[in-house]
């Protein structure tokens, strides 16, 4: 199941579906980085609201995505981690250290707008 990537001005928005396989996540990682380059995007929002499970592979891939995008000089915000998913992540000892998170898409966009304002 491919992850749709939407372009909203200088921001790319990737919306996760419930059942993402490892191959889908790897594909997303490449796709996002390529599109950040192509569109000279300043930020990426990854919306994981619909994601059923955030296991070790998924959280590692998200950290890698954020790291690659930072190397391109852009920002990543993960939005929509559900409370039970967050609970399971903590129990598993998974972290998204160094990656910005926000409650939902709206908050994520607001965070980026504020950030762009400060740097413009």
Partner 1 sequence: MRAGEIQVAINSDQDIVTARQKGRALAIELGFSPGDATLIATAISELARNIVSYARRGEITLKTVHASSRQGISIIASDSGPGIRDIRQAMRDGFSTSGSLGLGLPGVRRLMDEFEIISEPGQGTTVMVKKWRQ
**Cβ proximity to partner 1, 65 vs 112, nearer residue:** 65
Does 55 engage in binding with partner 1 (CB under 8 A)?
Answer: yes
CA distance 107 to 80: 10
What is the number of H-type helices and E-type strands within the chain?
4, 5
Nearest of 94, 102, 96 to residue 45 by alpha carbon:
102
Does 94 engage in binding with partner 1 (CB under 8 A)?
Answer: yes
**Cβ proximity to partner 1, 55 vs 107, nearer residue:** 55
> Binding residues for partner 1, how many (CB under 8 A)?
22
Minimum distance of partner 1 from residue 3's CB (angstroms):
14
Does 85 engage in binding with partner 1 (CB under 8 A)?
Answer: yes
Q: What radius of gyration, in Å, describes the C-alpha atoms of the chain?
A: 13
């Amino acid at each position: 199941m491919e992850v749709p990537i939407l372009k909203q001005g200088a921001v790319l928005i990737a919306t996760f579906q419930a059942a993402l396989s490892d191959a889908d996540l790897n594909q997303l990682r490449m796709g996002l980085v390529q599109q950040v380059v192509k569109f000279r995007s300043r930020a990426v929002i990854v919306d994981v609201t619909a994601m059923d499970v955030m296991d070790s592979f998924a959280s590692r891939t998200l950290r890698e995505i954020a790291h690659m995008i930072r190397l391109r000089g852009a920002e990543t915000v993960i939005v929509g981690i559900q409370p039970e998913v967050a609970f399971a992540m903590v129990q598993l000892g998974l972290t998204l250290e160094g990656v910005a998170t926000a409650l939902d898409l709206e908050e994520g966009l607001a965070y980026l707008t504020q950030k762009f304002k400060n740097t413009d």
